[in-house]
Homo-oligomer: A and B are copies of this chain.
Amino acid sequence: MTGRNKPRSAAEQVSDLTAGRLSVYLRCLTTLDAAGVKTISSRSLAERFHLNAAQIRKDLAYFGEFGVRGVGYYVADLKTHLRAILGLEKPVRVGIIGAGNLGRALADYQGFRVEGFHIVALFDTEPNRIGHPSRQGVPVRHVDDFTRMAAAQELDIVVIAVPEPAAQGVVNLAVESGIRAILNFSPGALQVPGGVKLKNVDLTVSLESLSFFLARGEQHVPGET
């Protein structure tokens, strides 16, 4: 029932797409849990949240047998498993480098706190930014402190919110300090060594993709859903 039959070794590759969906499933389960739902089948989970039932089962099956045939999944139970799989059992400590508009907005975003992310600090080199905490009280420290804290394993993930020209240098610093997971908001491709996970959120690419769609689809196709 608790299903820990076939846990894959960490060496086996699970795709990024699957990882992202696990996070989505966790959010769905949290919603269901709050609504008092006790068990859910992959089919009804898929119907409620516009997912694919077979894909949900396959994604989960990478990590064990969490379901009960004829019943489905116990919501609270699966939620616990997903939190463990996603490494959310203890707080995940996040540092944000770049205390400009974007860095401060991210630091104050309350959505992160919910799932156990702890924004430890913002980091910058500008003297007039240091010491002026964000509206929600996240402190702004000098990047030198970042190096020390990262080296002392006090940070799990670093968010890059500095202007493009500074980004690669900051990433190098983070990597040298032992950081192994980076979320990058600055445009352009950054280089990281193997064993370090880099995820990019490129706002210009997102907007230009939308613009591309508008430019292509100008004439509306009538027979479309």
Chain B residue contacts of A218, Cβ below 8 A? 10
Contact A205 to B24, CB < 8 A, known contacts A92-B211, A217-B180:
yes
CB distance from A25 to the nearest CB of B (A): 11
A214/B181 in contact, CB under 8 A: yes
> Are A213 and B19 interface neighbours, CB within 8 A?
yes
| Residues of chain A having any CB pair with chain B under 8 Å | 10-11, 14, 16, 19-20, 22-24, 26-27, 49-50, 85-88, 92, 94, 101-102, 104-106, 108-109, 111-112, 114-115, 117, 135, 156-157, 164, 180-183, 187-189, 191, 193-195, 197, 199, 201-221, 224-225
The answer for the CA separation of A60 and B99 in the assembled complex, in Å, is 38
Nearest B residue (CB) for A103:
B105
CB of A197 to closest CB in B, whole Å: 4
Residues of B within 8 A of A182 (CB): 210
Complex partner residue of A209 from B101, B104, B199, B208, CB under 8 angstroms? B199
Contact call A209/B16, Cβ cutoff below 8 A: yes
Quick one: copies of this chain in the complex?
A: 2
Can you name the residue of chain B whose Cβ is closest to the Cβ of A8? B216
Partner of A157, one of B23, B188, B191, B207: B207
Contact partner, A183, options B22, B197, B206, Cβ 8 Å? B206
A22-B208, A156-B214, A183-B207 are known; give 14 further A-B pairs, CB within 8 A: A10-B217, A10-B219, A50-B191, A85-B212, A87-B216, A92-B207, A101-B108, A101-B109, A112-B203, A117-B207, A157-B210, A181-B210, A181-B211, A197-B213
Q: Is the CB of B102 within 8 A of A109?
A: yes
Instruction: Name the one of B104, B109, B208 contacting A23, with C-beta atoms under 8 angstroms.
Output: B208
Residues of B within 8 A of A206 (CB): 183, 199, 201
> Across the interface, do A224 and B194 meet the contact criterion of CB distance under 8 Å?
yes
Given A210-B197, A211-B92, A27 contacting B188 (CB threshold 8 A): yes
Task: List the B side residues contacting A180 at CB < 8 Å.
Answer: 213-214, 217
Residues of B within 8 Å of A102, CB to CB, are: 105-106, 109
